[in-house]
Amino acid sequence: MTRLQKTTVAPTQESNPDPCPDAMHSLELRLAEYLTEPQVDLVRRAYRVGAEAHDGQIRKSGEAYITHPVAVATILAELRLDAETLSAAILHDTLEDTPLPRVKIAAEFGEAVAELVDGVTKLDKISFRDRQEADAESFRKMMLAMSRDLRVILIKLADRLHNMRTLDAMSTDSRRRIARETLEIYAPIAQRLGMNRIKAELQDLGFRALHPMRHRVIAKRIASQPVMRREAMATLEAQIAQRLAHEGLQFRLISRVKAPWSIYQKMREENKSFNQVMDVFGFRLVVQKVMQCYHALGAVHSQFKPLDARFRDFIAIPKANGYQSLHTVLFGPYGSPVEVQIRTEEMDLIAERGIAAHWLYKNIGQGMNNAQIRAQDWVRNLMDSQQAAASSLEFLENVKVDLFPDEVYLFTPKGDILSLPRNATTLDYAYAVHTDVGNHAVAARVDKKLVPLRTKLVSGQTVEIITAPSASPGPQWLEFVATSKARTAIRHFLKRLEHEDAVDLGHRMLDRALESLDSSLDRVAQDKIDRFLSEHRYRRLEELLADIALGNRMPGHVAQTLLQGQAPTQRSPERKRATSSTGEQILITGAERGVLSFAGCCYPIPGDEIMGYLSAGKGVVVHRADCPNVVEYRKHPDRCVPMAWDRYVEGDYRAALKLEVDNKPGVLAQVAAAVAESESNIDSVEYRERDVSVSMMVFGIEVRNRKHLADVIRRVRRLAVVHGVERL
């Protein structure tokens, strides 16, 4: 999303037509190893067009700007990407930073290359409120392009990697901002796509830029490991190799050294010292076939005893990013654990390159690899969630939530496998099955035992969701879901519900305002409604009605505008008397809580005389008619909304009671028991005054209506320790 800034100098006749011949020659030699001559020529032509477009532009480092796109293409060539991707990599900044039009790229290199270049291009031509919003919207655009072609993200990752390699030319603030973005977004994306080699370098470069001193200290400690440890590693390697050779296995055995970033993360998250983190020997064992992985596992287990519960089979159940391997931890001969990863050559290639591994399979009819299939599923789920996201910033946060490092693996009742992030609950599982299943979930069976929706899951469990047609999401669900899909679906449902409530309430408010002008919404000419909607940029009448309910439009003003030039309709005396007798009140049931709020100054409950006050952005705030603030509100009659409770009211409502009680132990428990006996809940307790013998306390409680409140007050008054009760 962020690239090194550049400057432009006026081109002269002395401008070099080939500003980086060495880098391009080196790239061509690499391409000749696996591409045909016509394919190499396509990349060569892209270089000529890109060099001409960027002529005169230089990087902060002082190099010609075209050196950056060539370096990005070189990174992708190391992954053996196809000619279209490499051409797009060389041209990836032209649409944004040069006059070169998209149509010319499409004509010269084909629509696929133009699509890739467009997908990586930021949205600089659109104005945003701040940089954060612009970056988030550019990210959403890139992810949409990635859903059409995964190669977009490969170009972006290579672009980010080269920018991180040359970050020293940037200012300190820019370095820190770009490094943080790399660690929070791009390194996790590389990991999610199985590209461990790129992920590791992005993490290391990001760590070095964000915390240079910490990186320097840890890197120095790694480099200066004691000779004894190096000898122990060599001895272990020899012992394992000897055992494998004895079994007749062909293998590669590589000792693994931890990176500074992973050491820093473990030290911080697990509160360990450097020596504790480093006190683990690690090896990677690569064999030829899948069955040889299990043969090798038996061999190393016969050499050193395995640690209980530390074996993971990611071959039978691959990780969400397509990673496959056997993981085991052994008791080492030096008192330190020995971590061993066992995989085939193909698994090793996919572990390092992820979706970039065997990219050419797609073009030669052998299909996509496991990592590519899983990556497409992940991106498809992200695109489903982005449609319901309220903004690009919310979408970006959802993606961050989804870029999890660890997964739990769960079984459906039919034996299928689902992977979810660590700390996922049964509700996350329900939404992973299907959005409708999540929206109607009421409970779950985990290993045939009934559990609530907030239950956290662990690998290996079998989960079944219990649904009910009448069930629906509530705001509290957001507190215990871990996946972006679940969070987005819940928010979307609640917003839709809130919108429907707002439209209904806005309709009633506008009708009341029109009623006072001897009209109603169904008697307003349609062309007047259409003109009002067009002038104020509303796509539908529902949007206007929702805006009225939220206090962004005054219903009286809208009514007057709609009726301008229209003769008033005469009402019958009976209709006038009926309107006068009801006071044109809007009746509420309490189900409109998406757009109504109840004032904290007077706590209105069903049975109270009430009025509404229209507050911009907040909608209607309901007050008791005897609230002290109402006197001030009535000075603004255009914002006052006559209201009353409907005959059928639902839900619990907050009320406040002031109690004068004995100041002695056990009083609070007696009061709480009396409130509970009257089927009410205590929300809060506050001491107002307190002396040797008497305490003044305020209880926040939930009641259904005035009758319920009166019952609570009666029960509390019967207590000998209570001297007085008053509703606030």
Q: Which residues are catalytic?
A: 96-97
Alpha carbon distance 431, 491 (integer Å): 13
Hey, what long-range contacts does 627-636 have (CB within 8 A, 24 or more apart)?
A: 627/599, 627/601, 627/602, 628/601, 628/602, 629/599, 629/601, 629/602
SS3 at position 208: helix
Alpha carbon distance 382, 402 (integer Å): 9
Alpha carbon distance 428, 435 (integer Å): 10
Alpha carbon distance 406, 420 (integer Å): 9
Q: DSSP characters for 46-96?
A: HHHHHHHHTTTEEETTSSBTTHHHHHHHHHHHHTT--HHHHHHHHTTTHHH
Distances (CA, A) of 314 to 98, 318, 328, 357, 418: 47, 5, 11, 18, 13
Instruction: Work out the number of other CB atoms within 10 angstroms of the CB of residue 651.
Output: 11
Alpha carbon distance 482, 423 (integer Å): 7
Alpha carbon distance 329, 307 (integer Å): 6
Q: Which of 212, 216, 235, 236 is nearest to 224 (CA)?
A: 216
Q: Which of 449, 444, 435 is nearest to 466 (CA)?
A: 444
Q: Which of 675, 670, 722, 674 is nearest to 701 (CA)?
A: 675
According to DSSP, the residues that pair with 425 across neighbouring strands are 456
Alpha carbon distance 163, 206 (integer Å): 11
Alpha carbon distance 721, 670 (integer Å): 8
CB of 371 closer than 8 Å to CB of 350 = yes
Instruction: Work out the number of other CB atoms within 10 angstroms of the CB of residue 200.
Output: 17
Structure tokens at 557: 């003003």
Report CA dihedral (359, 362, 368, 373) to the nearest 10 degrees: 90
Q: Which of 355, 404, 353 is nearest to 375 (CA)?
A: 355
CB of 286 closer than 8 Å to CB of 240 = no
6-8 and 57-59 beta bridge pairing: antiparallel
Query: What is the Cα 631 distance to its own chain's centre?
Result: 45
According to DSSP, the residues that pair with 698 across neighbouring strands are 658, 686
Distances (CA, A) of 249 to 182, 238, 289, 343, 674: 41, 15, 10, 13, 76
Instruction: Work out the number of other CB atoms within 10 angstroms of the CB of residue 595.
Output: 22
SS3 at position 182: helix
Alpha carbon distance 191, 165 (integer Å): 19
Alpha carbon distance 614, 643 (integer Å): 12
